[in-house]
A and B are shown apart, each in its own frame.
Chain A
Amino acid sequence: MAGPEKLVFMVTHGPAEPELATIPFVMAAAALASDVAVVMGFQGSGVELVTAGIAETVAAPEFPPLAKLLADVRELGGSLLVCSPCLKSRGTTPTDLVEGAEVVAAARFIAEITSATNALTY
């Protein structure tokens, strides 16, 4: 018997690409509203999006502001997993992240992806 549905969204674009940074949050919020569990994984420049204060600076035309979407995803119970080396290479520490973001390494991402219904990379 299949378990509950879960989607993993891997986010690899940061504030320099507001549309690609925003769309995975739109999808994640819609999934959560549809009773699908969500894990968002942040790698590369994507880690900048969950650094405190950054989401407030990102807005793509015709989409809600990223800060609103991030708040929606957190409120609806989405998990935020952040790549440890990606964070270190940017001189960011775990205390710089938004509340609820969890710093992880590759094996955790693999565990989440292999246990998911599907994984999408942005």
Chain B
Amino acid sequence: MSVTVEELEAITDAKVVDARGTACPGPLLEAKKGMAGVPMGSTIEIWSTDPATKNDISAWSGKVGHDFLGVLEADGYDRVFVIRRK
């Protein structure tokens, strides 16, 4: 599942998980914790300064069954969007 940049930019109700400054596997572990705190079908937005995170979260989402939406580049970090599906 992937959406357009415009659709990602229109998401305003995602729970932000700020993992900036953490090294692998920090962003992944923060994403897992963040996911546990939102209802099924909700979107979380992981902030990461590690350029590998977007691929890592994409692979993790596919593995565990969440929907990876895509990535927006911010000022010095990535915003990675995932919908909780399990």
- Give A residues with C-beta under 8 Å from B: 26, 29-30, 33-35, 62-64, 69, 72, 76
Contact = CB atoms under 8 A, between A and B. Distances in A.
Contacts of A62: 23
Nearest to B86: A35
14 contacts: A26-B25, A29-B25, A29-B28, A30-B25, A30-B28, A30-B56, A33-B28, A33-B31, A34-B60, A34-B63, A35-B64, A63-B24, A64-B25, A69-B25
Interface residues of B, number: 13
B64 A72 contact: no
B29 interface: yes
A34 B64 contact: yes
Nearest to A64: B23
Contacts of B60: 30, 33-34
B28 A64 contact: no
Given A33-B28, A72-B29, A64 B63 contact: no
Contacts of B32: 33
B35 to A, nearest CB: 10
